[in-house]
Structure 1
Amino acid sequence: MTELSLSSAAVRTESPRLDFSVLGSLTVTRGDGFVLTPTPPKLRLLLAMLILRANQVVSADWLIHGLWGAHPPRTAVTTLQVYISKLRRALIGPDWRTVRGVIDTDTSGYVLRMAGHGCDYLRVRSLGQQARAAEASGDLAEAARLLSESLALWRGPALADVRGGSWLNSQAKALDEELTDLRERWIGLELQLGRHRSLVGELYRLVEEYPNWETLYHHLMIALHRSGRTADALDIYGEMRIRFVDEYGMEPGPVSRRLHQRLLCRDPALNDLSISQFSA
């Protein structure tokens, strides 16, 4: 490559697409695959706060409180301005002159604009809404496909590698709860679609990952029963009961106990594919 072509490559000015990810570790990736994630902890925290309030103007005071809590340094306003400048440069990369309209200054504060860019949690919410619409129209297979696509965007606990205060921690927990809801919906649809056999392996994995999530045991027991493995389903109940009694000193809840009785009786209603949730 000639010196001229190198110089030309170094001053590209078109705005590249950026993909912001918070469903797992914090990452920023340019459209060509170049990773732009900042490494300083304060810049990572600042970026995470802006992402979680994407397309919303946030005040300097709010950002300062998020960065330093109730006792910010006297230079907080100036330091925040420096951080914003550094973050803007970090989101450019070494071979671009500018990325227009990513972090804008507003009279009331700052805003991270997502137009032309991507964000995993916003994509997950969009897919979740589309899935609800598909389910409401009776297209369960499409709803399940959309939820599966949304689940694939999760790489681990939200913002797992970002240190923040109580607000950021609560937002991360709220995102993880959204994952719980998406999984519940997807499993329910898969059961209604008669895909219980293909669910068994995933449900075994989830039960090990989330041993306190009682509803997962229900889904696994039903999937096993519908796959002709009622004895295995009863074993799962026994394992759950031992775990709950030994670790928490309590019996499984009434829904679990009722489901156990229905399995013992081989209740034919348990094979009704329209049923994906069970009550006492």
Structure 2
Amino acid sequence: MEIEVLGPLAAAHNGTSFAPTAGKPRTVLAMLALHAGSVVAVDQLITELWPHGRPRSAKTIVQTYILSLRNRIARCRPNGDSSRAAAKGLLATLPGGYQLNAPEARIDVVQFEKFACAGHRAREIGDFIAASRAFSDALTLWRGGALMDVQRGPHLDVDVQRLEEARLNVLDCRIDADLRLGRHHELLGELSALVSQYRTHEGLCAHLMLALYRSGRRDAAVNAYGKLHTCLIGELGLEPSAPLRRLHRTMLASGRDTQDLDTSWHEATTEGRHRIVTGDFVRGR
């Protein structure tokens, strides 16, 4: 069984898709897929499907969706009764709810988390080549916004927000590793696009400032800070954080030791991971 949630929802068994096309059954599958290996309570499914009031037959309708999913899984196998029994094992009824049993190696979100953890471990010991590679492997699993084609209720909204935050964190850490490896020239285009998307993300702005400065474009680095300052003041009434202001001052002071610059950048990006404010959402990691 293969499950993909980091983009459009996809689910296949023996190479055949069993993902339904109707909205509510897809929501049920998404809930089960995101929590594969754990029981999803019937009440959680009902709240997700009908957040503004459940119908009287809600439990029966959920049972119907589960039966339909099992039938779709069974059709992916060729052996009649044994296929139906296997489908019950893969989508099990347990006290209080249902559990989708899929191998962890075939669930993209589990693999994303494993690669991310490997990247963080490598980064902690200073192996930035391995960290960059692991973070890159994690990011390649994304095919778009998480569950971008699924109708979401309150539970999936929280799950998707968590996943998107994790994606941005991994992206931030991969760029950090690449900058430490001296890849500032290669990062300029990507960072410029990201800073345009996340206009008040201080960590990404600090990365762009450093990449520009190291590429001999101190004026552009200072200008990037100015744009962030304007956005923060104009949209949110906030000043840039103290570490980012220090990075800006360090860049203005020509002839400063590069160690001062690296220290200021490190402080600014660390602070930026805890103080992320954008025009579209507020994040705290």
Q: Does 1:25 align with 2:8?
A: yes
1:189 corresponds to which of 177, 200, 208: 177
- Confirm whether residue 113 of structure 1 aligns to residue 101 of structure 2: yes
Q: Distance in 2 between matches of 1:252 and 1:274?
A: 17
Q: Matched residue of 2:266: which SS?
A: coil
Q: Which residue in 1 is equivalent to 2:200?
A: 212
2:266 is aligned with 1:277: yes
Q: Which has the larger radius of gyration?
A: 1
Cα distance, 1:83 vs structure 2:
0.4
1:81 to 63, 67, 86: 63
Partner residue, 1:15:
none
Deviation, 1:154, is 1.7
Q: Which amino acid aligns with 1:144?
A: S
Matched residue type, 2:257: P
Q: Which moved more, 1:217-226 or 1:117-126?
A: 117-126
2:39 paired with 1:50: no
The one-letter code sitting in structure 1 at the alignment partner of 2:5 is V
* CA separation of 1:31 and 1:273: change in aligned 2, threshold 3 A: farther
Could you report, residue by residue, the CA deviation over 1:59-78 in whole angstroms, capped at 9, with x for unpaired residues? 32332233223732222222
Distance in 1 (alpha carbons) for counterparts of 2:180 and 2:261: 8
The alpha-carbon distance between structure 1 residues 197 and 31, as it changes in their structure 2 partners (threshold 3 A), is farther
When structure 1 is superposed on structure 2, of 48-57 and 161-170 the one drifting more is 161-170
Structure 2 Cα separation of the partners of residues 237 and 132 of structure 1? 28
From the superposition, tell whether residues 52 and 236 of structure 1 become closer, same or farther in structure 2 (CA, over 3 Å).
same
Q: State the identity %.
A: 35
SS of the equivalent of 1:124 reads: helix
Relative to structure 1, the CA distance from residue 139 to residue 93 in structure 2 (aligned partners, 3 Å threshold; closer, same or farther) is farther
In structure 2, runs of 5+ residues without a counterpart are 272-285
Pairs within 5 Å for 1:45-194: 45-69=27-51, 71-92=53-74, 96-97=78-79, 98=83, 100=87, 101-115=89-103, 118-194=106-182
Aligned-pair CA distance for 1:96: 4.5
Structure 1 residues without counterparts, runs of 5 or longer: 1-17
